[in-house]
Amino acid sequence: MDNNKVVTVKNLKYRYTPDGEWTLNDVTFQVNKGEWLAIVGHNGSGKSTLAKIINGLLMPEEGSVFVEGKELKEESIWDIRKRVGMVFQNPDNQFVGTTVRDDVAFGLENNGIPREIMMKRIQESLEKVRMSEFMNHEPHHLSGGQKQRVAIAGVLALEPSLMILDEATSMLDPQGRKEVIETVRSLQKVGQMSVLSITHDLEEVTQADRVIVMNQGQVFAEGTPEDIFELGDKLVSLGLDLPFTVKLSQLLNKKGVHLSKSHLKQQELVMELCKLYSKM
Ligand SMILES: Nc1ncnc2c1ncn2[C@@H]1O[C@H](COP(=O)(O)OP(=O)(O)O)[C@@H](O)[C@H]1O
Ligand SMILES: [Mg+2]
């Protein structure tokens, strides 16, 4: 098994009913160690189903999933769940404790972590998401972004190799979204943790190391954010949006302002326009 991969998904097929349509139809991809992989795709394209399989909440019907070289099977589910942490969309549905501390403790208790180590891990993971001062607070006093950061602390406390965010910022305001993404990014950069983020947030996608586009239960495209947004209208026809700078680059091209590429970074677009202008 390749040591540089945290997850390997091979020819994965899944459907919710025995004779139904395939929800995932021959999906193959890998998550590299330490990378931030964004997954985008229309509603119903199978993203959450994929996340649930990697986390062992659902089992593949065909094909295989390996997490750090260990194959997902009935007998390895608990081991896999320790290595893969998941943060869901709705901050209110994933709070299980009556206080922030209890909430982070929950997963550790389930894993039979000794009390002394548990207290240390709770402290450390809440520090990492900058929520330690809220240790004794009840969840209903927290903002959406703060709740998601506590959920992230709960995952971090288990020291996973992969964190899956399944539209974890979609219910947050721009400030909360930024806080959560920056928190996870700073943790991903320093540590060994890889991130698989299912998202509609274009700003987040442009900053990912790699992007996978899902369409009707299949991998439609895979590449760097630049590769992916070069697909332009093809993405739009799948119901996906393009970042503002990409749209602007394309419109300029149509109007006869020929740019070297569709820019993702506003600064680069401005630079190229300045260069073109100075030659006129
Ligand atoms: N628990 C379920 N039972 C039956 N069908 C489901 C269930 N969950 C999702 N589906 C169906 O599987 C397809 C993929 O759903 P999902 O993985 O949630 O997509 P996405 O996260 O990309 O929106 C959809 O057609 C959805 O209706
Ligand atoms: Mg989903």
Q: What is the mean pLDDT of residues 165-179?
A: 90
Candidates 39, 42, 48, 170: which one to mutate for ligand 1, based on the most atoms within 8 Å of Cβ?
Answer: 48
Asked if residue 122 lies in contact with residue 107, where contact means CB atoms within 8 angstroms, the answer is: no
Q: What is the mean pLDDT of residues 1-22?
A: 92
Among the atoms of ligand 1, which is closest to the Cα of residue 43? 23
Lining residues, ligand 1, CB within 6 Å: 16, 23, 41, 43-49
At residue 37, φ and ψ (nearest 5 deg) are -105, 125
Protein residues near ligand 2, an ion, with CB under 5 A: 48
The pLDDT score that the predictor gives to residue 1 is 55
Say yes or no to pLDDT of 272 above 70: yes
Q: Give the whole-angstrom CA distance, residue 23 versus residue 28.
A: 14
Report residue 185's pLDDT band, with 50, 70 and 90 as the boundaries.
very high
Instruction: Looking at the structure, tell me whether residues 79 and 179 fall in a common domain.
Output: yes
The pLDDT score that the predictor gives to residue 184 is 92
Say yes or no to pLDDT of 68 above 60: yes
* Domain membership flag for residue 197: yes
| CATH code of the domain in which 220 resides | 3.40.50.300
At residue 220, φ and ψ (nearest 5 deg) are -85, -40
Q: What is the mean pLDDT of residues 158-172?
A: 93
Instruction: Looking at the structure, tell me whether residues 36 and 166 fall in a common domain.
Output: yes
Average pLDDT, the chain: 93
Nearest to 106 by CA among 97, 115, 98, 114: 97
* Domains contained in the chain, number: 2
Instruction: Looking at the structure, tell me whether residues 40 and 92 fall in a common domain.
Output: yes
Instruction: Looking at the structure, tell me whether residues 14 and 115 fall in a common domain.
Output: yes
Domain containing 266 equals 243-280
User: pLDDT of 246-264, one tens digit each?
Assistant: 999 889 989 999 888 888 8
Instruction: Looking at the structure, tell me whether residues 216 and 255 fall in a common domain.
Output: no
Candidates 12, 19, 23: which one to mutate for ligand 1, based on the most atoms within 8 Å of Cβ?
Answer: 23
Cα dihedral 49, 50, 56, 58 sign:
positive
Residues of the chain above pLDDT 90, percent: 75
* Domain membership flag for residue 237: no
Instruction: Looking at the structure, tell me whether residues 130 and 63 fall in a common domain.
Output: yes
Report residue 2's pLDDT band, with 50, 70 and 90 as the boundaries.
low
The pLDDT score that the predictor gives to residue 262 is 83
Q: pTM for the complete prediction? A: 0.92
User: pLDDT of 20-53, one tens digit each?
Assistant: 999 999 999 999 999 999 999 999 999 999 999 9
The SS3 of residue 108 is helix
Instruction: Looking at the structure, tell me whether residues 186 and 255 fall in a common domain.
Output: no
Report residue 11's pLDDT band, with 50, 70 and 90 as the boundaries.
very high
